């Protein structure tokens, strides 16, 4: 059997690449859409599901649709920015995180990722992943994206950017969500096509 055809309902090539490294055997392409629905859900799960359902309505009928939503929760900000992460950071992730925690002793942080996959037959599967850590005082490292240059995972002394893409493919919140999705989906099922 060839690769499972999946459309990631996102414009983010970084996320597509990260997910494809974990979801082996899945041929993941970005969904081509000019206008995506606004992310107005109260939770990461609601936003991920909205993206997947949007993909199901406009994407190829015979392919799986994968919705993803992720963000950063800062303990000192009561869990913010959370689902507002993208709008809050406005492409300046490192700068915003460091400014928000300037002079703050509590630098605890958590990455959260929700994945929702919709089969051609409408079946819905969910995977959740988190990664706890702290925000560093300054950015270091060259790999990754977003908050990775200032996010030090629990049990590590280096930032995600320093740990690198190979580490991230195994341990990131997105990798954990992808593995949870696979477990829920149960790849031992004889039917991965969604055609019954």
Does residue 11 lie in a domain region?
yes
Which DSSP symbol is given to 53? H
Does residue 148 lie in a domain region?
yes
Q: Where are the alpha helices (DSSP H) in 5-128?
A: 13-22, 44-58, 85-89, 93-100
Does residue 106 lie in a domain region?
yes
CA 52/CA 31 separation, integer angstroms: 10
Residue 67 lies in domain: 4-185
Q: What is the pTM of this model?
A: 0.90
Does residue 191 lie in a domain region?
no
Does residue 24 lie in a domain region?
yes
CATH code at position 166: 3.90.950.10
Of the pLDDT bands very low, low, confident and very high (cuts 50, 70, 90), residue 14 is confident
Of the pLDDT bands very low, low, confident and very high (cuts 50, 70, 90), residue 38 is confident
Of the pLDDT bands very low, low, confident and very high (cuts 50, 70, 90), residue 80 is very high
CA 17/CA 59 separation, integer angstroms: 20
Q: Tokens 């950015």 correspond to what residue?
A: 139
pLDDT at 136: 98
Does residue 74 lie in a domain region?
yes
Does residue 193 lie in a domain region?
no
Q: Which of 69, 132, 165, 186 is catalytic?
A: 69
69 assigned to active site: yes
Does residue 90 lie in a domain region?
yes
Number of domains in the chain: 1
The candidate with the shortest Cα–Cα distance to 82, out of 118, 54, 41, is 41
């Amino acid at each position: 059997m060839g690769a499972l055809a999946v459309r990631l309902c996102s414009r983010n090539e970084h996320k597509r690449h990260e997910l494809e490294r974990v979801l082996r055997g899945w041929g993941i392409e970005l969904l081509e859409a000019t206008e995506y629905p606004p992310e107005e859900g109260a939770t990461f799960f609601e936003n991920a599901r909205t993206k997947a359902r949007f993909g199901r309505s406009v994407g190829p009928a015979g392919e799986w649709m994968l919705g993803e939503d992720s963000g950063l929760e800062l303990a000192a900000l009561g869990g913010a920015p959370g689902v507002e992460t993208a709008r809050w950071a406005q492409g300046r992730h490192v700068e915003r995180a460091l400014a928000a925690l300037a002079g703050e002793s509590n630098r605890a942080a958590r990455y959260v990722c929700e994945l929702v996959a919709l089969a051609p037959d409408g079946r819905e599967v969910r995977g959740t992943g988190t990664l706890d850590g702290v925000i560093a005082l300054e950015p270091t490292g060259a790999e990754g994206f977003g908050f990775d240059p200032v996010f030090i995972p629990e049990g590590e002394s280096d930032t995600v950017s320093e740990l690198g893409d190979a580490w991230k493919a195994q341990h990131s919140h997105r990798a954990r969500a992808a593995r949870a999705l696979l477990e829920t989906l149960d790849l031992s099922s004889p039917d991965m096509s969604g055609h019954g």
